[in-house]
Amino acid sequence: MDVMLSICEDKDIPGHFDADIIIKATCMSMLLASVDTTIVTLTWTLSLLLNNYQSLKKAQDELDTHVGKNRWVQESDIKNLVYLQAIVNESMRLYPPTPSLLPHESIEDCVVSGYDIPKGTRLFVSMWKFHHDPNIWPNPHEFKPERFLTTHKDVNVRGNHFELIPFGTGRRMCPGTSLALQVVYYVLAVLLQRFDIKRPSDEPIDMSESFGLTNLKASPLEVHLTPRLNSNLYE
């Protein structure tokens, strides 16, 4: 905010918008592109784990093995938590933060797979379709993090594989990919290490989606948290 104010303040900005509007619009873009999508990803990931307690236990067992129960997990531990990373990959495959990529526009006439694409054509890519293609993902609607440790262990979310593009790909992919993954991995690791997480009832979590710019969960996620480590660590 300080940088934006120092750049825009007392400056003659061409166009129809003043400095305040530009700053507010920039802040809104940052919130939608980072904070909201991070919250969405963590919400879906926790929802999937609460409907698959066996995967939740595997992630906590991994934390106990590589971090232990006598200290808090650190960011430097994340590289060893391969199953936790697989959980996040599978969550973003099933429920990408946004249902489609940002629109792209061709800058010149071109031919793609035999189709003539004129200059100025706007393209909307459904990443959900890619992520649920049964020709690529066996049992595509099933939550199975293990696939990223076996059959799809070389597939990642960094735009290198078109079958999994929650952050987009190419020159226009999300510039905050590394930061987003760092935050999601770490926050999830902290939650799973510090707390036993349960559903409020025996009923499975409702996984209905709502319509919007981001892939929001239709109903709020409610959980029961209880400390799972020695009480002295929470002091």
- For residues 124 and 101, is the Cβ–Cβ distance under 8 A? yes
Query: Predicted confidence band at 165 (pLDDT cuts at 50, 70, 90)?
Result: very high
Residue 45 has, within 13 A of its CA and on its CB side, a CA count of: 27
Q: Which pLDDT score is estimated for 213?
A: 75
CA distances from 22 to 18, 35, 37, 121 (A): 6, 19, 22, 28
Q: Which pLDDT score is estimated for 134?
A: 95
Point out which residues pair with 197 in neighbouring strands. Answer: 225
> Has residue 155 got a pLDDT over 80?
yes
Q: Counting Cβ atoms within 10 Å, is residue 131 exposed (0-12), middle (13-18) or buried (19+)?
A: buried
Q: Which pLDDT score is estimated for 205?
A: 97
- Residues annotated within the binding site are 174
Query: 5 in a domain, yes or no?
Result: no
Residue range 121-148, pLDDT digits in tens: 998 888 889 899 999 999 999 999 999 9
Query: 163 in a domain, yes or no?
Result: yes
Residue range 53-67, pLDDT digits in tens: 999 999 999 999 999
Query: 8 in a domain, yes or no?
Result: no
> Has residue 30 got a pLDDT over 80?
no
Q: Which pLDDT score is estimated for 120?
A: 95
Residue range 86-102, pLDDT digits in tens: 999 999 999 998 888 88
| CATH classification at residue 179 | 1.10.630.10
Query: 125 in a domain, yes or no?
Result: yes
Highest mean pLDDT pick, 101-105, 171-175, 228-232 = 228-232
Query: 161 in a domain, yes or no?
Result: yes
User: Residues 43-48: what's their mean pLDDT?
Assistant: 97
The share of the chain scoring above pLDDT 90, in percent, equals: 65
β 122-123/104-105 pair status: antiparallel
Q: Which pLDDT score is estimated for 170?
A: 84
Query: 10 in a domain, yes or no?
Result: no
- Residues annotated within the binding site for heme are 174
Nearest of 38, 37, 6 to residue 186 by alpha carbon: 38
Lowest mean pLDDT among 33-37, 136-140, 161-165, 219-223: 33-37
Q: Which pLDDT score is estimated for 82?
A: 98
Helix or strand or coil: residue 150? coil
Helices (H), the chain: 2-8, 19-30, 37-50, 53-66, 82-94, 127-131, 177-194
Query: 52 in a domain, yes or no?
Result: yes
pTM: 0.85
Q: Which residue has the higher pLDDT, 213 or 222?
A: 222
Q: Which pLDDT score is estimated for 175?
A: 81
Query: 146 in a domain, yes or no?
Result: yes
What integer best gives the mean pLDDT of the chain? Answer: 91
Total domains present in the chain: 1
- For residues 192 and 63, is the Cβ–Cβ distance under 8 A? yes
Nearest of 64, 50, 89 to residue 206 by alpha carbon: 50
User: Residues 27-41: what's their mean pLDDT?
Assistant: 82
* Cα distance between residue 148 and residue 125, in whole Å: 24
What backbone torsions phi and psi does residue 185 show, to the nearest 5 degrees? -60, -45
Domain that residue 110 falls in: 35-233
